Amino acid sequence: MILRIFSYLSVFLFLLSCNSDDFVTQDDNPFLGQSNPNFSLNLDLVTNADLQFAGGELFLPPRIALGTIQGAYIRNEGNNRFVAFDLAEPNSPIGSCTIPNKITGVFLEYTCGEQVSRYNFANGLKEGGEGKNVFPLRRYNVQLSGNTLRVTR
């Protein structure tokens, strides 16, 4: 009994000792401004048909992916689960190098001069991106209702 109480107390104290500065969130990103996507896609339309199947993906420009920074990437993960990310490169100021120029396997690649950055489009994480102040792709919420996908922040 005393051992159990001690264990709970230890875990509680450990959690209290965590510094919120140790965790980088998407909202801490100084390179990306505010984004408030709010758009829907009808999966019955031919232009969105790839999203009806597991592994299907779609790249949308900002004029269609309203409220995004550089457009959106949406992927059907299967079992009615979808992921959506902003296409803006999260570790560079917005400009000419912030749109992906290549897809390699499961990675979006951004090239700026000699520097190549790769992000896994399943989870948004930067390849080799350990350390402080390395930001993932900005992820958006996706809800499926009937044959309509709704993307929001």
Q: What is the pLDDT of residues 20-45, one digit of tens each?
A: 344 445 567 888 888 999 999 999 99
Region of residue 123 (phi > 0: left; psi between -120 and 50: alpha; otherwise: beta): alpha
DSSP structure string for the chain: -HHHHHHHHHHHHHHHH--GGG---GGG-SSS-----EEEEETTSGGGGGGGSTT-EEEE-TTTSTT-SS-EEEEEEETTEEEEEE-S-TTS-SSTT-S--EEETTEEEEEETTEEEEEETTT-PBTT--STT-PPPPEEEEEEETTEEEEE-
Mean pLDDT of the chain: 82
pLDDT digits (tens, 9 = 90+) for 95-137: 777 788 888 888 989 988 888 889 998 889 998 876 666 899 9
Give the structural domain span for 134: 36-152
pLDDT value of position 114: 86
pLDDT value of position 131: 64
DSSP structure string for 65-108: STT-SS-EEEEEEETTEEEEEE-S-TTS-SSTT-S--EEETTEE
Establish if 5 belongs to a structural domain.
no
pLDDT value of position 102: 83
The overall pTM is greater than 0.85: no
Question: Rounded to whole angstroms, what are the CA distances from 102 to 39, 87, 90, 119, 142?
Answer: 25, 12, 16, 11, 24
The domain total for the chain is 1
CATH number at residue 96: 2.102.10.10
pLDDT digits (tens, 9 = 90+) for 60-84: 999 999 999 999 999 999 999 999 9
Establish if 50 belongs to a structural domain.
yes
